[in-house]
Amino acid sequence: MDVPERDAGLSNQQLSNTKLIGRLLRMSWQYRAVCLQVLGYQMVLLVLGVSGLTLSGLTVDVLRKTLQPGAPAVRWPWHLSPPASWSPFVILCVLGGAVLAMAAVRAVLNYSYAIAAGRLIHVQIVPNLRAAIFDKMQRLSFRFFDAHASGTIITRVTRDVQLLRSFVDGVLIQGAIMIVSLGLYFVYMLLKHPGLTAASLSLTPVLWGLTTWYSRWAQPAYARNAQLFDEMILTMAEGADGAQVVKVFGREKEEHQKFVDKNQAVRDQQRRIFLRSSLYSPAVHLISQSSVAVLLLYGGWLVIHGQLSLGDLIVFAGLLQQFGEQVRTMATVVNTLQQSLSGARRVFEVLDTPVEIESPVNATRPQRIQGNVRFEDVHFGFRQGAQALRGIDLDVQPGQCLAILGETGAGKSTLISLIPRFYDPSRGRISIDGVDLRRLDLEMLRRNIGVVFQQSLLFSISVADNIAFGHPEASREQIIEAAKIARAHEFITALPKGYDTILEESATNLSGGQRQRIAIARAIMLKPAILLLDDPTTAVDPDTEHEVWQAIESATSGRTTFVVANRLSTLKRADFIVVLDEGRIVEQGTHAELMRQSGLYRRTADLQAVDSVSQRLLSGGAFSGGA
Amino acid sequence: MKLAATVAVALHDDDELPRRLDYSVIGRLLAYTHRYAPLRNKLLVLVLARAIQTPLLTWLTAKVISGSIAHGDYSKVCLGVAGFLVLELFTEAVFVFRMHLALRLGEAVVHDLRNELHRHMMEMPLSFFQQTKVGRLISRMTSDVDNLRIGVQDVAFVSMIQFGTMVISALLMAYYDWMLFAVVLAMVPVLWWLIEYFRGKMILAYKRVQASFSRVTATLAESVRGIRVIQGFVRQDVNGGLFGGLIHDHSRNNMEAVKLSAVFQPLLEFNGQLFLAVLLVVGGYRALHGTISLETLIQFLFLSNLFFGPVPVLGRQYNNALTAMAGAERVFELLDMQPEWSDDPAAKDLPEIKGRVQFRHLNFEYVPGEPVLHDINFTAEPGQVTALVGHTGSGKSSIIKLVAKLYLPTSGEVLIDGHRVETISGLSLHRQIGTVPQDNFLFSGTVRENILLGRTAATDAEVAQALDALDVRDLIEELPQGLDTQVGEKGVNLSLGQRQIVCFARAMLANPKILILDEATSSVDPVTEERLQSALMKLLEGRTSFVIAHRLSTIRHAHAILVMERGRIAERGTHEELCLHGGVYADLYRQFIGGSVPGAAA
């Protein structure tokens, strides 16, 4: 099916940034208690950090006062001056003890902070979101999966959820910490000495400008880099996948040259980035070190003239470093905000996609389904304007087998996927035993329909679990019974661990015919009144195809069956046949009736007919027994 | 030419880290920098400069604060700051070049290695690609090479800088006060042990996190791909529960890792503070007693930070070194893998051929001791179509792979126009062979590019000619952008019939004398089928063709049918002969047409 992959997908209406942030804030509100707890820890840690620095400064001042008689008196904060009876060494020990005590408190707080933040992210936000998306995803209609490549759906649950949660910890919490600590440092420095504060922070705007500029430049540059890298890897992977083609056409040299070029493109792009990115860190260093120089010049002058203590100068130097670090996180926070918004947009897109197909409120649950399927003037389109089915009328009696023939894109698969309500018709109605599908309980409807797809996906669980996929509580006897009907019992028992053999990913340890027979057993397990077979031998080797058809024949008896097929031998077995062309029924009737017309059916049949010579040779030949 | 003694073993995907450094691997890795010796040597000089500069700057800062400022000498302060600025500017200039050169060296080595890996891959025979998962090759090119890059551009240089910084600050401290330095030194083993202890535990914890995450993504991927089955069989609740369990498991593992780091980081910090307190008390005591000056104490406050800073960095680098080595080992393992066989150095280029193919007493096995073909004898005359018929695993595809010299016979001979394939170069043979693979493999790119794969130098007119010869030009022009339509990942998905047409055109353009064709098993709609059939007949015309046939008309068209059964030719002849014979072929044929003969008439 040619559905162009567009990320915007179904909900064309893009959320604006403001709305998105509003929604994220509302979501974060659920976690407010933990967020506040986390912030609280950080506040205390911040105060302790500043106090620790102050203590070191004080120690220096105490020592200086003792050793250099001319030095200014120690300025104790909050008039906490020690009793005059204490010797300088006792004071030192007390200060050292205070540093240690605070460090112990800090350690405990840091631990609690990390645990609380971890719990918030890994136990609450991420698992909740993942479970919600997965649950939603499973219930979305097939339209969603038609419109999105499976890779992008998977990243929504994995990466995009992580991006979204970074709004809470990377933007809200980090942002709050940043603002508060910048404020605290600033006020503290201001209280110590406004002039020195202004002078030493004078280069901060430059630092901020530089980090912002760099992160704006770096993102697209690295994105380009990643793109070139992906192209190179793709070239390599294709060369390996298509090794036989490459070798038989003798294209190894050309193929290698292609890779060398792509590799060179990666290297060139890298070198373009290298120069700028190796300028960045040194530039940031230079700016912060220049601030230190300013601090030393002006602060040194102040100390010499007795307007600032030496300890305070050391504290200033420490604070200046922390201040610079916080300024640099600002760029990170802004980046995180952008990324979290793009992640959130993609997560919310899934959560907001309406579940198109749901059970009605007062669903009908008939005792038994007989299997009379009626289509009345059914129209259907995947997109506005493009009609896949137009005015389909059908009436299939219980136990009848209907075969559907048509070109690729004629609407065959679409027609049968309307019966289990994988899609709903846009006009007209489909009924089972006279009840409109949309009035039936959805779960009950699907449990009464067995589906065998073109390429049946089996799961990497045991064979038995695959057969019991729709009926997990089935007993081993029931599973074996279903396998026998599907002619699968024999080859299953020949597998290394029989029914308990775990299938490999995509069941590559089985042949196509074996996979389809397990899929048939899986469908029969439901004991469905209706069986849908969507061209079940497309992906099967012709020499094992007949095994699948034998399985199908025993599976269909007594069931209303819809089978999409191109093979004459299948078509002939049907009670009646419809030929679809561009979404319309163009011919219908039994094999014999259709052979009398000179339509599409007749042409197909002629193409596959056994020529009379072979016919005669085979029936007249010296062989014993029938087929 | 002989089969190489070393049989390609499957690449191991063990992601266990090696326990210690292996110097032979390191040496081999270093050899890749020899091509860039000037770059590397400049880098070494810069690294030495860096190792000295950082302690010098710190020392100068402390000197200005504790000396000039504390003693009230402002002119010295100005002088000190001026010196500081000059040194700083120089330091950062060195830093720029240090980073730039290291990045360039790393990228250069990685670039060369990737080319070498790819060249090596291209030299491997087909069997290699059938035994090796593409994902495995991709991770050699991506994560392994990237880990190795860190080894080349960071580990050695960063470690040298950090170690140098440590040594110089240690020397400075020792110069100022032996006693106090002894206190500093006493902290090192504590710190080292702390880091080592937690590092080991954290690596394990993150491995568990990764493993549980892989389970989450694997289940997720299966659920997305299998959504139609899940909804069709109403399995949403069961699956939701299973997925919930996996998320919970992943979340628990994450918390284990968080707890470890929640203990480790504060401990590390506490350790630093403990040291500070000890330094204040001991240093203060010594300063009060006049053993050391206040200046010395302040120097220690600054220098000790510089001394401890590298400890965790060095631990990280050691880990990087192990990771890089593991990556290098896996990359080298692939590079060292010998092709099972390669062209005999004496092999000659095949002259222009007529296309006569003979198999004489040919036996073949993929795995020694498990023969898949027994005593195969046949001759295909130039221009003849040979159809291969038989069950899966009967040896059909082995035969066409032997014709194309994708494998060599175990015993017996394959002759092309009388030349034994062993005596001719693979490339010259391949230039005269065309293929249409069963999966109709197309490369991403335009339709035109895919057709040109048959003959890269062909002009547009020649491409058009090939399409006309097959009578499929209208089918290609029907595509959204005709020949310029993108296929594959970024483009539209061509239908099976369209893909096959492109593959036919590719083979037609190559205009080979020998054609091998593995018919796609999937049936397409009747109208397309008709077009494909007529195109196929035109493609086969005048070429020695080997066809694994699934279509009746192809089989009917063949000059000879080889019916394969368990690695032997069970029957051979034309369609009529084999039908009359009433053996394996007649049975197969009857099954194939769905048991409709005898009985229902058409």
B424-435 per-position pLDDT tens digit: 988 888 889 988
Q: Which residues from B are below 8 Å from A604, CB to CB?
A: 526
Q: Which residues contact B11 (CB under 8 A, 6 or more apart)?
A: B132, B136, B140, B330, B333, B334, B337
**Is A101 an interface residue toward B (CB < 8 Å)?**
no
pLDDT over 60 (residue B130) = yes
pLDDT band at B342 (very low <50, low <70, confident <90, very high): confident
Cα distance between residue A325 and residue A322, in whole Å: 5
Give the helix ranges, DSSP H, for B407-525. 426-430, 447-452, 460-470, 473-477, 496-510
Q: How far apart are CA B316 and CA B309, in angstroms?
A: 12
| Cα distance between residue A547 and residue A552, in whole Å | 9
Predicted confidence at residue B226, as pLDDT, reads 84
The yes-or-no verdict on residue B349 having pLDDT over 80 is: yes
Of the two residues B269 and A178, the one the predictor is more confident about is A178
**What letter does residue B422 receive in the DSSP assignment?**
G
**What b/e sequence results for A11-22 when a residue is b if at least 16 CB atoms lie within 10 Å of its CB, and e otherwise?**
eeeebeeeebbe
Mean pLDDT for the stretch of residues A101-116: 93
**Chain A stretch 190-209, residues whose beta carbon is closer than 8 A to a beta carbon of chain B:** none
Q: What is the mean pLDDT of residues A314-337?
A: 85
Contact state of A111 with B592 under an 8 Å Cβ cutoff: no
- What is the pLDDT, as a whole number, of residue B410? 92
The answer on pLDDT for A9 being more than 50 is: no
- For residue B389, the chain A residue with the least C-alpha distance is A543
Minimum-distance CB partner of A267 among B95, B100, B111: B111
Q: Residue B13 above 60 pLDDT?
A: no
Q: CA–CA separation, A493 vs A488, rounded Å?
A: 9
The Cα–Cα gap between B83 and B66 comes to 16
Residues in chain B within 8 Å Cβ distance of A111: 262-263, 266
> Is A150 a residue whose pLDDT tops 80?
no
Q: Is B232 in Cβ contact with A303 (below 8 Å)?
A: no
Chain B residues touching A611 at Cβ < 8 A: 556
Q: B39, exposed or middle or buried, with CB in 10 Å at 0-12, 13-18, 19+?
A: middle
Residue B72 contacts A, CB cutoff 8 Å: yes
Instruction: State the smallest CA–CA distance between residue A18 and chain B in angstroms.
Output: 31
Q: pLDDT, tens digit, for every residue of B451-499?
A: 988 888 889 999 999 999 998 888 888 888 889 988 865 455 677 788 8
Dist CA B466 CA A592 (whole Å) = 41
Bond prior to A354 in cis (omega within 30° of 0)? no
Contact B254, A122 (CB under 8 A): yes
Residue predicted with more confidence, A7 or A349: A349
**Is the Cβ–Cβ distance between A41 and A118 less than 8 Å?**
no
Beta strand pairing call for A373-383 and A427-432: antiparallel
C-alpha B174, offset from chain centre: 51
For residue range A298-311, list pLDDT tens digits in order.
998 998 888 888 88
Cβ–Cβ < 8 Å for B555, B517: no
**In this model, does residue B155 exceed pLDDT 50?**
yes
**Does residue B37 carry a pLDDT above 90?**
yes
What whole-number distance in Å separates Cα of residue B483 and Cα of residue B503?
Answer: 13
Average pLDDT, chain B: 85
Q: Average pLDDT, stretch A235-248? A: 85
**Structure tokens, A608:** 């596959």
DSSP A364: B
Let me know the angle formed at the C-alpha of B204 by B219 and B213, rounded to the nearest 5 degrees.
15
pLDDT at residue A62, rounded to an integer = 86
- Cβ within 8 Å of B, A 322-381: none
Nearest to A127 among B119, B251, B273 (CB): B251
Instruction: Give the CA diameter of chain A.
Output: 128
Lowest mean pLDDT across A48-62, A251-265, A389-403:
A48-62
CB of B79 within 8 Å of any CB in chain A?
A: no
Q: Tell me how far apart the alpha carbons of residues B315 and B527 are, in angstroms, rounded to a whole number.
A: 68
The answer to whether residues A366 and A436 touch, using CB atoms and an 8 Å cutoff, is no
Distance of CA A435 to the CA centre of its chain: 38
User: Which residue, among B29, B158, B294, B383, has the nearest Cα to A71 in the 3D structure?
Assistant: B294
Cβ-defined contact of B284 to A138 (cutoff 8 Å): no
* Closest listed residue to residue A240, CA positions, set B224, B599, B271, B334: B334
Asked if residue B244 has pLDDT above 90, the reply is: yes
Q: What is the pLDDT of residues B353-385, one digit of tens each?
A: 999 999 999 999 988 888 999 999 999 999 999
Is a pLDDT exceeding 80 seen at residue A575?
Answer: yes
Global ipTM: 0.83
**Residue A545 confidence class, pLDDT cut points 50, 70, 90:** confident
Asked if B134 reaches chain A (Cβ–Cβ under 8 Å), the answer is: yes
pLDDT of the residue at A2: 34
Half-sphere exposure of A398 (CA within 13 A, CB side): 10
Residue A323's pLDDT is what?
86
Option in B141, B274, B443 nearest A233 (CB): B141
Across chain A, mean pLDDT equals 86
> Highest mean pLDDT: which of A278-287, B104-113, B213-222?
B104-113
| Whole-number pLDDT of residue B10 | 36
Confidence check: pLDDT of A384 > 80: no
A314 touching B (Cβ < 8 Å): yes
Tell me the two tokens of residue B215.
């389970």
Residue of B nearest to A56 (CA): B280
pLDDT class of B572 with cuts at 50, 70, 90: very high
CA distance A284 to A291: 11
Residue of chain B whose alpha carbon sits nearest to that of A612: B602
Closest CA to B572 of B555, B557, B583, B560: B560
What's the confidence (pLDDT) of residue A625?
A: 35
DSSP, collapsed to helix, strand or coil, labels residue A605 as helix
In this predicted structure, the answer to whether residue A623 has a pLDDT above a threshold of 60 is: no
CB contact under 8 A, B437 and A245: yes
**Residues of A with Cβ-Cβ distance to B141 under 8 angstroms:** 233, 236
Q: Are residues A138 and B434, on separate chains, in Cβ contact within 8 Å?
A: no
Placement of tokens 């190179």 in the chain: A232
DSSP B278: H
Model pLDDT for residues A415-451, shown as the tens digit of each residue: 999 999 999 999 999 999 999 999 999 989 999 999 9
Residue contact B74–A300, C-beta within 8 A: yes
**B187 to chain A nearest CA, in Å?**
15
- Predicted local distance difference test score (pLDDT) of residue B547: 92
